Amino acid sequence: MPNRVHSYVHLHLVSDATGETLIAVARAAAAQYASVRAIEHVYPLVRSTKQLDRVTTEIEAAPGIVLYTLIGAELAERLEARCKEYGAPCVSVLAPVLNVFQSYLGTQSTPRIGGQHVLNADYFRRIDALNYTLVHDDGQMVEDLEEADVVLIGISRTSKTPTGIYLANRGIKTANIPIVPGIPLPPQLESLSGPLVVGLVASPERIVQIRQNRLLSLNDRDNTAYVDRLAVAEEIAFTRKLCARHEWPTIDVTRRSIEETAAAILALHKEHRDA
């Protein structure tokens, strides 16, 4: 088949549930093609032929790659037949994985739409973690820090809050404590025995850049100390010394995404829990 060079590609993501699995897979694949912009068309909760017909009409209007997770065989076959008519490649994201499971386990799967979103104990554990994390953001409610799984510390703009929320979605109760010049840290922090304490740091240049953008968005041009490189470097040095004194691990988030930072913390948390 001839190579097709596009500056963009339409990605049609068809799901009978929320579409989260499809979005994650599609973005992971699209990220490997830096010169191509993926235009996502997400169709969640497609569970009838009428709904599917609306989807295929849109696929015909903007042909591209079609990925789907449809449990019902009739809908899947109908989608694949239409895509074949349009010349649009169509792939079931779960089919190869389910085939491996079936071959290894020697048994058929039990089709369940959105089965990963069932309201089980794990789901409620994640909700509980999210509630805890939101209440313990930015140094609040330090009286019960011992109940946390992870406590993040760091200076302003080291992504403590978004990292904590990401961890909460993985079921990890996360509190975060800001390190602010001239303001003492809560005494509860240094006496923790259960939670894993992790320091987040970054290069002074990166912190200054983010803080400058923050001040611009707030239309605040007077807070020069907040973006002074030497002052920022001192804040980072203080964080590193504090963590070294207590043997708390540090993670440099300068070039890390939230997901990468969270993955590193999850690995540290597993080691901490096992120990």
What is the rounded distance in angstroms from the CA atom of residue 156 to the CA atom of residue 236? 10
The reply to whether 27 sits in an annotated binding site is no
The reply to whether 15 sits in an annotated binding site is no
The reply to whether 35 sits in an annotated binding site is no
DSSP letter string, 61-115: HS--EEEEE---HHHHHHHHHHHHHHT--EEESSHHHHHHHHHHHTS-----TTG
The reply to whether 191 sits in an annotated binding site is no
Stretch (H or E) spanning 227: none
Burial grade of 172 (CB within 10 A; 0-12, 13-18, 19 or more): buried
Quick check: helix, strand or coil at residue 121?
helix
Do residues 147 and 106 touch, judged by C-beta distance below 8 A?
A: no
The reply to whether 103 sits in an annotated binding site is no
**Six-digit token string for 57:** 């009409």
The reply to whether 158 sits in an annotated binding site is yes
**Six-digit token string for 51:** 């709904």
What is the rounded distance in angstroms from the CA atom of residue 42 to the CA atom of residue 67? 10
**Cα 163 from chain centre:** 8
Binding residues for ADP: 154-161
- Binding-site residue numbers are 154-161
